[in-house]
Chains A and B, each alone.
Chain A
């Protein structure tokens, strides 16, 4: 799973969110390191919808413009949980090895 996809799903894990909200949330989650742009975001949202990982939760009109809220589907929650567990396992392995070799470099 690409980092942007993982962060978008993470943004939706706490509840439904609209496009601009996801962009702001992803920036916050990544500590400002990942700056999602609209083209990337909506390409990913379309793919995630097609894959059944997210769905449109609700729509509203704000300042005469459409605002659509997205949320995770049960499949999306499972995929995110599996990916988070995988990343956590890799990170744990990396940290354990770094503790064995505190210089941080290769042995």
Chain B
């Protein structure tokens, strides 16, 4: 064993409590599976690297930990197939896109109102109801995508089932919109719906892939609750 270095005494007993709490708060940004495996070990190294009397994490160390946390969130957990990880990233992207759509609706509501009232005033009430309904359901859709991402990341079959059902609903809604002439009177909305539908179908394809299925079977057998 290569043993030229031993841990330093660390920051001292008085300062260690606050410093440890500070580091734990930063480590809380890492994925749970990584914390469970590494938190105590990293903490020991952080405390060993601390200056005498140091009471708070330094800016450089804090930035480095947050950067490390961001990188770990971008990596699949050990044993997770790339198909499942890709599906989870798509679900995050869909949640983010939904947030973008909701913000766009709210920000442009005034200008849309002006345009509709100028072009065809009687249509405003229907357009307003549609836009506000889209914005109001956004938090629910975002929460659903995030829940499905978490459930599928944990290898839960109910997460897969939810993806399949949700994708069906989204794609049926798009088909209904297209058949009602949505492409003509609301091309942007229909196009956004199509992208949403295609994203959902891609997620279904990824989570029902044979490589993914093994992951779900293993997770269910192990009763995994990694997050």
Contacts and interface: CB of A to CB of B under 8 A. Distances in A.
Interface of A: 11-12, 14-21, 23-25, 37-43, 46-47, 50, 57-58, 62-63, 65-69
Contacts of A38: 42, 45-46, 49, 61, 64-65, 68
B60 A37 contact: yes
Interface string B1-25: 1111111100000000000000000
A20 B6 CA distance: 8
Contact of A42 (B2, B5, B6, B42): B42
A41 B5 contact: no
A58 B72 CA distance: 23
Contact of B2 (A16, A19, A58, A65): A16
25 contacts: A15-B2, A16-B2, A19-B42, A20-B45, A20-B49, A21-B3, A21-B4, A23-B45, A24-B4, A25-B4, A25-B5, A37-B61, A38-B42, A38-B49, A38-B64, A39-B69, A40-B67, A41-B45, A42-B41, A43-B71, A43-B72, A58-B1, A65-B40, A67-B41, A67-B44
Nearest to B26: A39
Contacts of B90: none
The 7 closest A-B pairs by CB, nearest first: A39-B68, A15-B2, A39-B64, A65-B44, A37-B64, A21-B5, A39-B65
B60 to A, nearest CB: 7
Interface of B: 1-8, 34, 38, 40-49, 60-61, 64-69, 71-72, 75, 78
B178 to A, nearest CB: 44
B68 A42 contact: yes
A24 B5 contact: yes
Given A38-B45, A38-B61, A43-B72, A14 B2 contact: yes
B47 to A, nearest CB: 8
A69 B1 contact: yes
Contact of B7 (A46, A47, A62): A62
Contacts of A65: 40-41, 43-44, 47
B12 to A, nearest CB: 13
Contacts of B1: 15-17, 57-58, 69
Interface centre among A14, A42, A67 (most CB of B within 10 A): A42
A27 B176 CA distance: 64
A46 B64 contact: no
Nearest to B68: A39
Contact of A20 (B5, B65, B68): B5
Contact of B75 (A15, A20, A47, A69): A47
Contacts of B42: 19, 38, 42
B75 A66 contact: no
Contacts of A23: 45, 49
A39 B45 contact: no
A17 B41 contact: no
Contacts of B67: 39-40
A40 B68 contact: yes
A12 B47 CA distance: 22
A19 B41 contact: yes
A21 B78 CA distance: 25
